Each structure stands twice: as structure tokens, then as C-alpha cells.
């Protein structure tokens, strides 16, 4: 593997909230072109790992690199797109159209009050089309279903042309049929549009069906390999214990600290 093909890396990372250890000795590499699913039970540290990757938290021990740079020095944030689990929660009165919300993804590049140039507008239309919402361009986002809203946020993350897209539980609150379409979209972004994806999810079914690699986290990485290998081994991996069948459905009831 060439050095420039490592887009993100955690090296021997430990993290604690106050005195409480949450992650220990986590080493994980995300290579260019990967579609990596990060799975783990509730409270296993998935969101904490993402916050460390994005430089929002500092490891107690170890190092985090983005595009071969220590995350504290990293400045090229337009190379990274991020879609959080709270993205699809707009009420019907929210006064912004699909076009406007997706355009917001360009503000980092062009500044908040600058006008979009022709090529910016074309890029907005291109990514809206990529996520299949071209017929909804002028709809208010609050009028769309949870699955459609989530696509809008993918488009907003894509509009600045990131190389690495990080999605934290993006299907929470999305109905089952839209979830399948949504994962299909992610696969297409990975295979056709060459985006590197990190998908944080409880959904074991999705990871075995759609992603190319799986990493299992429960305080530390218990497995990282190809999804076929994961599918063959998953019943023997003890990191989930008895929780495995509950995970897809119980997420929303779990209070976040």
C-alpha cells in the first residue's frame, strides 16, 4: 500500500471521558477506495472514534492522522464529508429547499454570503442527481421523508467533492425500504464515484451485504477484514455477546450522554 493511499489512521489510540476509559489501543487504517463498515454494540465507542478522527476530541494516548497529517494540523476539511445521525430530523415547517440545503455544503469554499457561480450551481445539480432527488430540488426539506432527507445531507456532504465520506448511523429513523436504497446509493458512490466511505452502523445485515470491509469495535478493534471473512466468522466473534439480534432496532431508545 502506498503512503498516499492511507486517508485516515488511528494509531494505538486510547480515550477516556474524565476517568472513564472508552477506547483502548485502537489502531485502524482507512485506505483509499474502501467502503468500511464500523460496527459495535451501544456504548462501544463508535461515535467517540469518529470524534477523534474529526479532531473534535483529543486522544488520551496515541495518534490520529488524516491524509498523512496529524489531525491537529489538518486543514483541508473539504476532503472530508460528514453526515451525522441527527441529520434527518427536520420538521415540515423548516424553511429551506433541497437546493438551498445542498448549496450550504459549498459555504466552506466560497464563504457564507458570496453568490454561487455557474459551476457551483452545476455541481449542486450534479450531486442532487447523484442521490436521485432531481425532482425535489425546490421542495422544502421538511416535506421530504426521513430517507429523502438523509439523501439531501449526503448531497450536501458530496458537493465540495470530498474524498472520504464519514456517515454516523445515517439510517436511524429511515424506513426499511429506503434503507436498502440508501445503502445501494452508498455502494454506487463507492464503486462508481470512487468515494472512500466509513459507515458507522448497528446494522450487521447491511455491513455483510453492502460494505467491502468490516471493523468491529468494542473499546478496541476485535476484527478488521473483508466483509466475506466477517460474514463467515461473525457468529464466532464474541464481541457482541448476546446483544447481536437487538442492535438494529433498539438504537433510538438508548439515551445519549
Ligand X SMILES: Nc1ncnc2c1ncn2[C@@H]1O[C@H](COP(=O)(O)OP(=O)(O)OP(=O)(O)O)[C@@H](O)[C@H]1O
How crowded is residue 185: how many other Cβ atoms within 10 Å of its Cβ? 18
Does the protein bind ligand X through residue 219 (CB under 6 A)? no
How crowded is residue 114: how many other Cβ atoms within 10 Å of its Cβ? 11
Q: Which listed range, 44-52, 104-112, 121-129, 159-167, lies at the site for ligand X (CB under 6 A)?
A: 44-52
Q: Are 51 and 84 spatial neighbours (Cβ–Cβ below 8 Å)?
A: no
Dihedral pair phi/psi, residue 247, rounded to 5° = -65, -35
Does the protein bind ligand X through residue 173 (CB under 6 A)? no
Complex with ligand X: residue 62 or 132, whichever CB lies closer: 62
- CB burial class (10 A; 0-12, 13-18, 19+) of residue 84? middle
Distances (CA, A) of 39 to 28, 114, 165, 212, 214: 13, 40, 16, 13, 7
Binding mask 64-103 for ligand X (x = CB under 6 A): ----------------------------------------
Q: Which listed range, 45-53, 87-95, 116-124, 133-141, lies at the site for ligand X (CB under 6 A)?
A: 45-53
Alpha-carbon distance 37 to 168, whole Å? 10
Does the protein bind ligand X through residue 253 (CB under 6 A)? no
Q: Which listed range, 41-49, 62-70, 72-80, 130-138, lies at the site for ligand X (CB under 6 A)?
A: 41-49
Q: Which listed range, 40-48, 58-66, 103-111, 125-133, lies at the site for ligand X (CB under 6 A)?
A: 40-48
Binding mask 12-31 for ligand X (x = CB under 6 A): -----x----x---------
Amino acid at each position: 500500500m502506498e503512503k498516499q493511499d492511507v486517508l485516515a489512521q488511528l494509531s494505538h489510540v486510547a480515550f477516556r471521558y474524565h476517568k472513564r476509559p472508552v477506547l483502548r489501543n485502537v489502531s485502524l487504517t482507512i485506505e483509499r477506495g474502501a467502503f468500511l463498515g464500523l460496527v459495535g454494540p451501544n456504548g462501544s465507542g463508535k461515535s467517540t472514534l469518529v470524534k477523534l478522527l474529526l479532531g473534535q476530541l483529543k486522544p488520551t494516548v496515541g495518534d490520529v492522522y488524516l491524509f498523512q497529517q496529524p489531525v491537529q494540523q489538518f486543514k483541508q476539511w473539504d476532503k472530508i464529508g460528514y453526515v451525522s445521525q441527527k441529520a434527518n430530523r427536520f420538521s415540515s415547517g423548516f424553511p429551506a429547499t433541497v437546493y438551498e440545503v445542498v448549496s450550504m455544503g459549498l459555504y466552506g469554499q466560497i464563504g457564507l454570503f458570496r453568490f454561487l457561480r455557474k459551476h457551483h450551481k452545476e455541481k449542486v445539480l450534479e450531486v442532487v442527481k447523484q442521490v436521485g432527488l432531481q425532482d425535489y430540488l425546490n421542495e422544502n426539506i421538511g416535506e421530504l421523508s426521513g430517507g429523502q432527507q438523509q439523501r439531501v445531507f449526503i448531497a450536501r456532504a458530496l458537493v465540495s467533492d470530498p474524498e472520504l465520506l464519514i456517515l454516523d448511523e445515517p439510517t436511524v429513523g429511515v424506513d426499511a425500504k429506503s434503507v436498502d436504497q440508501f445503502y445501494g446509493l452508498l455502494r454506487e458512490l463507492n464503486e462508481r464515484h470512487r468515494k472512500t466511505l466509513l459507515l458507522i452502523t448497528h446494522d450487521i445485515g447491511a455491513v455483510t451485504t453492502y460494505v467491502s470491509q468490516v471493523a468491529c469495535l468494542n473499546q478496541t478493534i476485535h476484527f478488521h477484514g473483508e466483509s466475506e471473512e466477517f460474514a463467515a466468522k461473525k457468529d464466532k466473534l464474541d464481541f457482541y455477546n448476546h446483544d447481536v439480534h437487538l442492535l438494529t432496532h433498539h438504537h433510538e431508545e438508548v439515551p445519549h450522554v
